[in-house]
Amino acid sequence: MPFTPIHMGPGIFIKAILQGSFSLMIFGWAQIIMDIQPLIVLLSGHGHLHGFSHTYIGATLLALFSALSGKPLSELGLKILGISKQKIINISWLVAISSAFIGTYSHVLLDSMMHFDLQPFYPLHTVNHLQGIFSIKALHQFCLYSGILGAIIYYGIVFIIKKE
């Protein structure tokens, strides 16, 4: 995927379905963390573009980092934005950890279908059997349409709740 934003479509859909049991901010933070290593390779011209960060072992470590750092950052961000009327906004550790893991694992899954240089099961297996299963256009459409559908569902639920 061309960096983090396109990965947010499925995250928006998941947020619509899981509502408060999922943190879109932590999911998004995990997307950013996942793409730091490829960004460094692109800027420096050195290294493997989709290296260790784009393996499931790397994604596991980055999910843990994303949850530990994303929970306090997201709570602070929500407080600053005034999203909640509560003075203290608390994202549970279960929500933080599951959102981060969904973020990193979905990132590897989607990128595995697109990029030939990914080795998602490294060091156990170096072949990427998912690459090319779907066209790049189909993957982009999936991400875009899942985000649109998720936004419709999310705001539909918010509208219904406010009406009651």
Average pLDDT, the chain: 91
Higher pLDDT, 22 or 2: 22
**What whole-number percentage of the chain has pLDDT above 90?**
73
* SS3 call for 114: helix
Give residue 6's pLDDT.
Answer: 86
Higher pLDDT, 5 or 100: 100
Q: What's the domain range around 114?
A: 4-163
Give residue 73's pLDDT.
Answer: 94
The pLDDT of residue 2 is above 60: no
Q: Give the 3-state DSSP-derived string for 76-107, with helices as H, strands as E and coil as C.
A: HHHHHHCCCCCCCCCCCHHHHHHHHHHHHHHH
Determine the Cα–Cα distance for residues 94 and 114; give it in Å rounded to an integer: 30
Query: Could you tell me the pLDDT band of residue 24, with boundaries at 50, 70 and 90?
Result: very high
Determine the Cα–Cα distance for residues 113 and 100; give it in Å rounded to an integer: 20
Q: Over the stretch 38-89, which tens digit does the pLDDT of each residue have?
A: 999 989 998 888 889 999 999 999 999 999 999 999 998 888 887 766 666 7
Residue closest to 63 by CA, chosen among 72, 53, 77, 75? 53
Q: How far is CA 128 from CA 8, 115, 123, 146, in A?
A: 23, 9, 12, 25
Number of domains observed in the structure of the chain: 1
Give residue 26's pLDDT.
Answer: 97
Distance of CA 106 to the CA centre of its chain: 6
- Kindly report the pTM of this predicted structure: 0.90
Determine the Cα–Cα distance for residues 38 and 33; give it in Å rounded to an integer: 10
Q: Over the stretch 92-118, which tens digit does the pLDDT of each residue have?
A: 999 999 999 999 999 999 999 998 889
Give residue 87's pLDDT.
Answer: 64
Give residue 1's pLDDT.
Answer: 46
